[in-house]
Structure formats: structure tokens, C-alpha cells
Chain A
Amino acid sequence: MKPRSWLTKAIVYLVLVALSALFLMPLAWTISTSLKPNRQTMELPPRWWPKDFLWSNYSDAVMYRSEELGYIPMLRQARNTLYLAVLSVTGVVISNALVAYGFARIRWRGREVLFAITLATMMVPFPVTMVAVFSIFKELGWIGSFRPLWIPAWLGSAFNIFLLRQFFMSIPQDLSDAAAIDGCGELQTFWHVILPLAKPALAVVGLFHFMYVWNDFLGPLIYLTDESMFTLSLGLQAYQSQHGGTEWSMLMAASMIVITPLIVLFFLTQRTFIQGVRLTGIKG
């Protein structure tokens, strides 16, 4: 649907530029504040371009330790987050690929029923199961460890199963048949035929789970008790609850440290990313 007249076009561009600026403004303001000495954050009227650039806010947020500022052990938190991300992203990709293969490429009795149940569980919000799941991990003695945060990732999740199943079903059956004639077993077909073709979909699942781990707050809040094990999200909240309302430049620097890797990741994987948003948002 293309507008014809140049006037409409000009208006559309004007609106788009204004809206883009509006959407980017909070981020720009965060960066601006993160580079100011804390005293200058409370200057009125607010100044977009800092008078002095205090790059050390960033290193302070990560390493500096002083009584009144406190400090955020962000390096360790980043390591914790990455540790969880690697373990659970690997698990999510492997387990969901296996399960989706079982649903998409093998015909067995009860498959449709189980798949219907799987779809229905997409509707169950986490808070509903939160208490009982916590009590399971409590029984296992896993509270205060990383295990509740990554082991479930190895056991599949409804949405990813659904997504990968759709993708696997679009791969022609001939390929599997040819592999079978060549003497491939089911696992070999899965590994040598289906997985290589499914790379784009697997990348989407992995990327989005990485984002999820990076973002997750409720999980770490419930299961992690030792401050040295905090993830970036939980650590940032902990710092905010102790020093919020005053140390704005430090808070903004710390926030930017948590935000920036995701933005970099987005630009590096833009195609997969946009493809992923489309895939996850459009059912069928």
C-alpha cells in the first residue's frame, strides 16, 4: 500500500523520524546520564550533552568499591549469567530438537494427543506452577544452586517444540526416505539430514533463549540465595534497592552494561533476530 502524493509521503517520513527519535530518546538519556558526574545529574534544566565526560562511571560500576557508593560485582555476575546461558541454551536447542523430531518425523500412536496437551500447556503461566516447582527443588536440595535455573532447559518447552516441529514438517519426507535407504537409523537421519537443514530455526530458538536467560529475574530471585551467584539482572536490582534514588549516573552506567550486549547481539544476528520475532509471533 503505497501513498501516491508527495505530500503524504513527506508527512509519513516526518512522523517516522519523530517517532524514531521518541523511541530512542530514553536510551540516549540513559547514555548521557551514565557519563555525567553524579552531581551533574541533578542539574536543571537537564543537559543532553554532559559538561564533563566521566567514563570512569563504567569501570566504577564494575570494579570500584567504596562505602557510600557500594559496588556491583558485575564481572562475576556476567560470568554467572553466561554460565547459565551456555548450559541452558545448549540444553534448549538439543532437547527441543529431539522432541520436535519425535513429533514431526515419526508416526506413532498417541502422538496427536500428546501434542495437543503440549500446546495447551503454553497457556499455563509460570506463577501457577511456581510454588510446586519450588517445593520439588527444595526436596532435591537444589535451592541456592544454579541447577533449578538450567536443568529444566534440558527437558523441552512447549513453545520451542511447537516452533521446531513446524519447521521440521516443512522438510520433504523424501530426504528421510533416501537416508533410510542408505541405511541411516533414526538418530543418524536426525543428525545428518534434519539438523543441518534446520540450522536457521535452531539459531532462533537458541538466540531467544539466550535473551530469556539474560532477562530472567523471577527465576534467579527465587532460587539464588548467595550474592556471589547473582546474575546481572538480579545483581542490578539488588544494587538499585540499596543505592537507588541517588546514584543515578552509576545506575545508568550499570544498566547500559546490561543492555549493551543485547543490542550488540541484535546487530550481529539481525537477520536471525527479525526472522525469529516473525516466527515466534506468527502462529502457523
Chain B
Amino acid sequence: MTGAERRRLVKGLGFVAPWLVGLGTFLLYPILASLYFSFCEYSVLQKPVWIGPGNYQDLLTDSVFWKSLGNTVLYAAFSLPFGLIVSLSLAFLLNSGVKGLAFFRTAMFLPSLVPMVALAIVWLWIFNGQYGLLNNLLSTEQIYWLLYLGYALPAGVIAAAWAYDRLSQIWGAARGWAAWLVAGAAAAVVVALLHPEGGPLAFLLGPTFAELRTGPPGWLADPAWAKPALVIMSLWGGGNAMVIYLAGLQDVPQHLYDAAELDGANWLQKVRHVALPAISPVILFNLIMGIIGGLQFFAVPYVISPTGSPDRSIYFLTTYLYDNAFTYLRMGYASAMAWILFIIVFALTLLALRLSRRFVYYEGG
């Protein structure tokens, strides 16, 4: 190493020194320490005692752990795709050259500013079974249809768009009307197939929706409806992602649209073949952050009920981890959970990155 190189090294390390301390103290050491703790009996009050893989074995048979894991996966599996659909659709709507863009954007963005604790309290009140706004504004019948169409219609629209895109490539523009016809039929079939009480989703949604025949949903007070209520709450905060997608869409160069138009592309084809590929890296990044965030879901369900009641239906992985660590003082057990969480996050992120090679378009890459 020359003198100049050494001087630069010293200077560089000098500037990043705070981070070297932070990285070591709050990330690298804790990750390794919690790996060690996960093989220990440890209550913070006493020094950790090595017990081997006992904590992991206990986790395998711990029904509360599996319940909380299942809740977390279910919540993420619904809130992530629907959040994506909502914020993407809003972004496309706002990107259609409307006047008053700033007003609409602000209106939809404001809810995402609400702090988690306040969010939970506000929605506890709206979802109140007896006096809540929702159950008094809508009849049970209306709620049933709104929710059914709320998830089935986006799926139908996506299916129709896909079918139209494929067929119009095969048949050409001349028979565009036939492609629309088939696409409409595809949408109808998908919506019908997704009926909550008939069709292949009945095993998952049937019991929940059937409950609506006996009266209005109890939402956060009802084990069947608490998780769907949380998903609805999460959609309210979709404005944040909407702003991000909108920014991405506004950066798509106009000449790409013009070129597509010259090729005879209609609105749908421009969305599918120009806009979506252009913002796919942003979508991927948000999806990965969403996975990491979704697995840490804690504040909102904790405020609604620290025990995850009713019937542990909103008891999540991080809630159980918190309880083990700070309520039962089983830090070793909590560390084992932390490591499993870590591995899940790692695996899912890797999976997302792998899939991205097929679906994500990088300019110049």
C-alpha cells in the first residue's frame, strides 16, 4: 500500500467510523449473539446456559408458534397483493393526465401518515360491531358482495387483460372484438370461480363468509373476521406506495408510448408492454420491503389486543416473539424464533429476486 492509499484508507475509515460501531453493535453482534442464545436457556436476569437445539425442538411442537406463523403468512399473503393492486391502480388513475392531481394525491396519501397506534384505535371504532360506522353504513348483504367483488373483480380484470393480450397477439388487430369477447368471458368465469362459498376457494373463505348469513360481521371482535379487517386497514395506507408508483410512471419517457402507439397499441397494451415493465424494478423493491415489513407486523394488532384475541386470531409472529422475550422472559426461545424469522425473510427475498429475473425489466441491464 502506498502512502497516499494509506492516507485515504485512514480518512475513509474515519468518516465511516460511526457506522462501523453501529454495524458491529446493533447488527453483526446481535445476529451472532441471538444465534448463540437460541441454543441457550436465557432469561436476561441470569447468564445464558447452553442447552443445545432444545428451543428449536420445542418450537416444532408449539401450537401457538404455528398459529402465529400461520396468521402472519395469511395476513401477508392477502395484504401484499391487494396492497399492490390498490396502489398500482390508483397510480395509473392519477397518471392519466387529470387536473387537480395534487389534490387527489394528497387525499389518498394522507391516511398513510397516520401513526400505527392511532390507526389501530381509529379502526377499532369504525369496525365496532354495534356502533361502528361500517356496520351502520352498509347492510350485511352489501358487505358480503363488496368483499366478494373486492377480491374477485381485480382477479377477473387481470385474467381478462391477460387473455386479451394473448389473443390479440395471435389474432391480430383485425379480430380485436373477438379478443375482447373472450376476455370478458374469461373475467366472468374467474369471478364465478372465486365465489367464496362455491368454487375452489371455499375451503379458505367459505366458513368466514357463511357467518355473514347469521348477522353483521363482528370484525376485530370476531375470530373469523379479525384478519380480513386488518387487511382492509392495511389498504387504507396504500397511498404511500401509490406515490412511489406514480413517480415511477411519470418518469416513463413519452417517446416509448408514442412508439407503441405507432405500432397500433391501445391503452391496455401500453400499460402491459410499456408502463408495467418500466416500473417493474420499483414494484419488486416495494414487494421485498413489504415482505420484510409484513413479517414484522406488530404495533397495530398489539394495540387492538396484546393477546391477539379473539381466539389468537390476530396473534402474529412478532407478537409471540415479543411475549416470549419480554413477558415470559424466555429470551433463548425468542432468539430461536428470531432466527427462524430471519431465515424466512432471507428465503423469501431470495425467491423474489430469482423470480424477478423473469419478470423484471432493467433498462440497459
Binding site for B on A (CB under 8 A): 1-3, 9, 12-13, 15-16, 19-20, 23-27, 29-30, 33, 41-42, 44-46, 95, 98-99, 101-103, 106-111, 114, 117-118, 121, 123-136, 138, 152, 154-157, 161, 186, 190, 211, 214-215, 217-218, 221-222, 232-234, 236-237, 240-241, 244-245, 248, 251-252, 255, 258-259, 262-263, 266, 270, 274, 277-278, 281-284
Q: Is the CB of B339 within 8 A of A42?
A: no
Extra pairs beyond A29-B126, A95-B19 (17, CB < 8 Å): A1-B95, A3-B267, A19-B93, A24-B110, A103-B16, A125-B295, A125-B341, A127-B298, A128-B342, A131-B331, A186-B11, A233-B118, A252-B121, A262-B113, A278-B243, A281-B243, A283-B282
Q: Is the CB of A46 within 8 A of B133?
A: yes
Nearest-Cβ distance from residue B306 to partner chain A, whole angstroms: 7
A33: chain B residues within 8 A (beta carbon)? 125
Assess A3 versus B96: contact at CB under 8 Å? Given A123-B345, A152-B22.
yes
Q: Is the CB of B115 within 8 A of A129?
A: no
Q: Is the CB of A128 within 8 A of B18?
A: no
Can you list 5 A-B contacts (CB < 8 A)? A23-B108, A42-B131, A95-B18, A99-B15, A102-B16
A25: chain B residues within 8 A (beta carbon)? 133
B107: chain A residues within 8 A (beta carbon)? 20, 23-24
Convert B288-301 into 0s and 1s, putting 1 for each residue whose CB lies closer than 8 angstroms to a CB of A.
00001001101100
Nearest-Cβ distance from residue B92 to partner chain A, whole angstroms: 8
Nearest-Cβ distance from residue A90 to partner chain B, whole angstroms: 13
A155: chain B residues within 8 A (beta carbon)? 18-19, 21-22, 25-26
Nearest-Cβ distance from residue A207 to partner chain B, whole angstroms: 12
Partner of A127, one of B120, B130, B306, B318: B318
Q: Is the CB of B286 within 8 A of A281?
A: yes
B126: chain A residues within 8 A (beta carbon)? 26, 29
Q: Is the CB of B113 within 8 A of A263?
A: yes
Convert B233-252 into 0s and 1s, putting 1 for each residue whose CB lies closer than 8 angstroms to a CB of A.
00010011101100110000
Chain B contact patch, size range? 35 or more
Assess A109 versus B292: contact at CB under 8 Å? Given A161-B19, A214-B115.
no
B247: chain A residues within 8 A (beta carbon)? 274, 277-278, 281-282
Partner of B267, one of A1, A27, A125, A240: A1
Q: Is the CB of B108 within 8 A of A19?
A: yes
Q: Which of B116-142 contact A (CB under 8 A)?
A: 116-118, 120-126, 130-131, 133, 136-137
Assess A218 versus B298: contact at CB under 8 Å? Given A26-B111, A124-B342, A128-B338.
yes
Q: Is B229 an interface residue (CB 8 A)?
A: no
Per DSSP, are chain B's interface residues mostly helix, strand or loop, or mixed? helix
Give the top 7 A-B pairs by smallest Cβ distance, nearest first: A102-B15, A155-B22, A281-B244, A108-B12, A132-B30, A156-B19, A129-B30
Nearest-Cβ distance from residue A92 to partner chain B, whole angstroms: 11
Q: Is B171 an interface residue (CB 8 A)?
A: no
Q: Is the CB of A1 within 8 A of B18?
A: no
Assess A27 versus B110: contact at CB under 8 Å? Given A125-B292, A128-B338, A156-B19.
yes
B296: chain A residues within 8 A (beta carbon)? 125-127
Q: Is B190 an interface residue (CB 8 A)?
A: no
Convert B1-14 into 0s and 1s, putting 1 for each residue whose CB lies closer than 8 angstroms to a CB of A.
10001001101111
Give Cα A218 to B293, complex, Å. Answer: 14
Give Cα A101 to B108, complex, Å. Answer: 36
A255: chain B residues within 8 A (beta carbon)? 118, 121-122
Nearest-Cβ distance from residue B279 to partner chain A, whole angstroms: 9
A266: chain B residues within 8 A (beta carbon)? 110, 113
A103: chain B residues within 8 A (beta carbon)? 16
Give A233's nearest chain B residue, CB to CB: B117
Partner of B325, one of A26, A98, A131: A131
B339: chain A residues within 8 A (beta carbon)? 128
Interface stretch, picked from B31-39, B158-166, B208-216, is B31-39
Give Cα A273 to B241, complex, Å. Answer: 13
Nearest-Cβ distance from residue A247 to partner chain B, whole angstroms: 11
Partner of A217, one of B98, B108, B116: B116
A240: chain B residues within 8 A (beta carbon)? 117, 120-121, 124, 303
A132: chain B residues within 8 A (beta carbon)? 29-31, 33-34, 37, 335
Q: Is the CB of B96 within 8 A of A128?
A: no
A130: chain B residues within 8 A (beta carbon)? 321-322, 325, 334, 338
Q: Is B270 an interface residue (CB 8 A)?
A: yes
A282: chain B residues within 8 A (beta carbon)? 244, 247-248, 282, 285
A134: chain B residues within 8 A (beta carbon)? 44, 325-326
B317: chain A residues within 8 A (beta carbon)? 127
Q: Is B168 an interface residue (CB 8 A)?
A: no
Q: Is the CB of B23 within 8 A of A117?
A: yes
